[in-house]
Amino acid sequence: MSLSLAKQLIPFLLLLILSLGANASPELKRINLLVSDLDRSLEIYEGVIGMEVFEIKISKADSYAYEVFNVPSGARLRFASLNVGSEKRAFALTEVTKAGLPSQDGIKMATAVIKINNLKEIYNQINDLELKTTRIDEDTTPEGRTFLEFSFVDYDGNLIVLYELK
């Protein structure tokens, strides 16, 4: 191979390597929470936080969700996907009926962390729903930006952290 041809191929090969590397990285699609009453949960996630319902559907009896969430076959599932800002279907709620959800008292095993605007207004609305909340805390990101945050536990014990960059 001539040196001239090799020089011409280098930009192409670099672009190919970079594009493969970008596509190989993990990409978070959505957070999915199990809830006992979808309509009541939507009062929080759509009505207060401001997510937009993309779709609500009843899951079929052979839905993969039964296996994924270890839900008994006699239970009924209803699934809602929600848009979060410009991200389509980035958040989901799966209603489980005809089977009780386990208690989520005690140490919390996971949380969804969601960036919002109007944190203080949303904090007041969450408190009006009489959900368990923490106080509003102010902190600084590793990049030096100040933010406010608080957490709440929804009707089914799911821990949610909301924050707003200042």
In a domain, 76, yes or no: yes
Beta 159-165 vs 111-115: how paired, if at all? parallel
Q: How many residues in total does the chain contain?
A: 166
In a domain, 8, yes or no: no
Count Cβ atoms below 10 Å from residue 120 Cβ, excluding itself.
11
In a domain, 7, yes or no: no
Split into its structural domains, the chain has a count of 1
In a domain, 6, yes or no: no
Q: Looking at residue 25, what is its pLDDT? A: 78
CATH number of the domain enclosing 78: 3.10.180.10
Domain that holds residue 53: 31-98+110-165
Q: What is the pTM of this model?
A: 0.84
Cβ atoms of 81 and 91 closer than 8 Å: yes
Q: Looking at residue 27, what is its pLDDT? A: 87
Q: Looking at residue 91, what is its pLDDT? A: 98
Burial group, residue 104, by CB count within 10 angstroms (0-12, 13-18, 19+)? middle
In a domain, 121, yes or no: yes
Query: Each residue of 69-96: pLDDT tens digit?
Result: 999 999 999 999 999 999 999 999 999 9
In a domain, 4, yes or no: no
In a domain, 3, yes or no: no
Tokens found for residue 106: 């005690």
**34 closest CA partner among 102, 82, 107:** 102
**Regions in the chain scoring below 50 on pLDDT:** 5-6
| Termini Cα distance of the chain | 56
**Percent of the chain at pLDDT exceeding 70:** 86
